[in-house]
Structure 1
Amino acid sequence: MPLQIPHPNTPLHLYRHMLREATYLPLLCRPWIASRIQARFRDCRDEDNSNYYVKEAHQKLRYLRSANTGHVNRMRRLCYLATGRVGKRRRLLARAELSSLPASSSAELDIKAKLASEKQREFDWMDNWSIEKVQAIAFSQSAQQSTNWPHIMRKGVDPLRTLPTENSFGRPISEKLIRNKLKKHWAAIFKQLLPPLPRGEWDQLAAMASGEADPQHYEIPARRPVARPVRQSPSASSEARTPSWEDFVTRPVRSLERGSSRSMKSLTSDEDEDPRGHGRPTGIRVLSQRKLRRGIYDNIWRASPLMDKNPRSGKWQVTWGGQERQPIQRPRKKDLQFFQGIGKTGVPIQSEIVT
């Protein structure tokens, strides 16, 4: 059933409601979501157009309530935000893991400036990134990606194959135009790139996906009882949501009943006027340990790479979660009876003799 919780009216009340909803999230995404709520309210506290941010916060509160109700896709999206697969932490991880190392001495800085002057160009944003790392993880993501990942890498990753070498007149392209096309190419790659995770976080996520982590990672905090207003009657909130005859005259019926539909019921918490109702909300599941491990944590681990440098070749190696599969175990003696009369090719032995 949808959560029958009074919606906050003031910004401070809204802030407290969002922090309260963050406490019901799994341990994987709880700290990051709570910190983002605090940071966003502090950044927008002195803004002139506060109504826009208050409206956005109301939408995010409905999103949090729907995820805590058991909406798997929205809960997975929150975990994507916390692990850096989407959102702000994705950009922070890319800057920390894929940026080029700064010059360790003034001599090395002079060498970089000399190389740039020989190529007759100035420093740009591409000089701050390790293109070798970006290219390695982009090639690996294009070959390893699945359809349920938050970002899908395009096929044309290699700039040598996608960028032209001649113009329409058959003449070679200038160095400045090549550099600008490279910027556009790598900017499109960055929009689809999934940055690598640190070793400790990647190992912790692997343990959570395999079910070997601490039990606290699979527990959903119990929801505390909802406070009832003292002066407001229980039917006042339901009467405020009841449409009037003017709404039925000026608005389409589908827009009036949209909030009580199965797809929107977990967001709006609206009930149907028909006592039979439209049924349970879509996408709602019981977030058990099995559902968290196989439906959320395993998907996040598969979309999380780990980068290591080969000490011999010096090239970057990318390892994705779930790549290393355990070998298929041999059947036990009591299970061999199901394979009696079957050859190694999977065909019955008698039919092999006849043919």
Structure 2
Amino acid sequence: MLSPVQHSASSLKTVHLLRALLREASYLPDQSARQYFRSYIVKRFKAYQPAHKATRPRDALALEEFRHRSVQRRRTAVIIQRTRATQRKAHKGLNYLRRANQGELPCLQKVLFLAYGRTGKRRYELLERLLRPELPSSSGGPPQLDHAMPPLHKLYYSDKRFLSFFDAPKQKSPDNYSIAISPRYARLKTVLQSQVKTDIALGRSLKRDHLQTPIRNIWQRPMPMKRARNNVRRWYAETMGRLLPPLPNDEWDGLRALATGERWIEFAKPRVPAIELHVEPRDNQAHSMALIEAGLKLDKQSKADRPWGTERPHNITPRFMRRLYEKIWGYSCKLDWVESQGGGRWNATWGNKIIRTKSYSLPVDQDLFTGVDLSGKIARVPKSEKALLV
């Protein structure tokens, strides 16, 4: 006879957290956010699932070392060591999702930023699409991939990846070099130039679309190669940290439709109570008295007890969501290939502020409001005027 399966309190708590997170993610008011967070939660929990409990085939386990670090399965010793910390982190994420579903603006806004790649893991996934070299196509279409050796690799005698995104230095002044993004990365260069031109950023804005580095150091000697390489690395890290990658064209168009109201917002479907199969007759008078007693109870929260201020929970309405979509759309762009006589180029289109029509009032006959003061109350006639009227 098989012995019953033994579950520790820690493993049961992890399962309860997983179910609670998936349940709370299914209540999010945006369809893309629901799909993104469900996939993200499942991958993160699988990364901390022991290998002997996995239900995946051996072929998938053989490719484990080539997967991304955030979803790569941890070793058993690491899982045991990090159990309490990861459970605490999952509990914080659960509370954050609950606050977002309750209508707290900062939480819901960050959830949408994560889902649409303005920050977080998906932003890096969208950035990877920009960091692929291209060559002009001879057929006039979009450029093809390029694998030529970058100029800074030869100049700085280094094979670091960040050096491959830059063109050869050009002297713009007697004291400074200008290092721009290589034409082999035309999409990255287009997005960077358009973001600098439009001054769009979640935090500090980008100042330049190129690196400006000194030719000599403070002792008027040629710049050491290591310091010159570090200047490029520092500018690249700062720029990539503020760059907002483009969304896929169909997703950008869908976000625009949600912001303008052209597409209906797909809220989470509310749960419907089950239908009673055997309905028993009830006393209407007793039911009415129960409703009255429930309404007269003082254990309900009053308006004075509810939080107030700019960060108070909001009612999640279509109008409220459209305002959020409009803000996210303003931080998003898409890339289109534009044909021209010279061969063609990439063009970045950013979302802009929607100008909504303001409500106005038509002229009304003033006779409809005779005898009424500015507050809408019937004006009282003084006694002296009443005597004259008589």
| TM-score, structure 2 normalization | 0.59
1:73 counterpart residue number: 106
Q: Where do 5+ consecutive residues of structure 2 fail to align?
A: 1-10, 51-78, 138-145, 167-180, 274-298, 364-390
Matched, 1:197 2:247: yes
Question: How has the CA–CA distance of structure 1 residues 291 and 326 changed in structure 2, closer, same or farther, with 3 Å as cutoff?
Answer: closer
- TM-superposed CA distance for 1:22, in Å, is 1.0
1:36 counterpart residue number: 40
Question: How has the CA–CA distance of structure 1 residues 276 and 32 changed in structure 2, closer, same or farther, with 3 Å as cutoff?
Answer: closer
- TM-superposed CA distance for 1:211, in Å, is 0.7
1:353 counterpart residue number: none
1:86 counterpart residue number: 119
Q: Secondary structure at the match of 2:349?
A: strand
- TM-superposed CA distance for 1:202, in Å, is 0.7
Q: Secondary structure at the match of 1:180?
A: helix
Question: What is the percentage of aligned positions where both structures have the same residue?
Answer: 29
Matched, 1:279 2:282: no
Question: Is the 8 Å Cα contact of residues 199 and 205 (structure 2) preserved in structure 1?
Answer: yes
Matched, 1:100 2:152: no
**Aligned mates of 2:194, 2:270 — CA distance in 1:** 41
Q: Deviations over 1:328-354 (max 9, x none)?
A: 99xx9x89xxxxxxxxxxxxxxxxxxx
Matched, 1:219 2:267: yes
Q: Deviations over 1:274-314 (max 9, x none)?
A: x87972135211111111012x1111111001123443365
Question: How has the CA–CA distance of structure 1 residues 67 and 93 changed in structure 2, closer, same or farther, with 3 Å as cutoff?
Answer: same
1:288 counterpart residue number: 317
Question: Is the 8 Å Cα contact of residues 153 and 164 (structure 2) preserved in structure 1?
Answer: no
Matched, 1:320 2:350: yes
**Aligned mates of 2:217, 2:86 — CA distance in 1:** 48
Q: Deviations over 1:176-228 (max 9, x none)?
A: 53233111101111111111111111111111111111x3x242432578xxx
Pair member with larger Rg: 2
One-letter code aligned to 2:270:
A
**Aligned mates of 1:140, 1:192 — CA distance in 2:** 13
- TM-superposed CA distance for 1:42, in Å, is 0.9
| TM-score, structure 1 normalization | 0.64
Relative contact order, higher structure (CA 8 A, sep 6+): 1
Counterpart selection for 1:27 from 28, 31, 34: 31
Q: How many residues align?
A: 265
2:15 counterpart residue number: 12
Matched, 1:112 2:143: no
**Aligned mates of 1:36, 1:174 — CA distance in 2:** 44
1:150 counterpart residue number: 202
Question: Is the 8 Å Cα contact of residues 81 and 89 (structure 1) preserved in structure 2?
Answer: yes
**Aligned mates of 1:145, 1:290 — CA distance in 2:** 27
Q: Secondary structure at the match of 1:318?
A: strand
Q: Where do 5+ consecutive residues of structure 1 fail to align?
A: 1-7, 226-272, 336-355
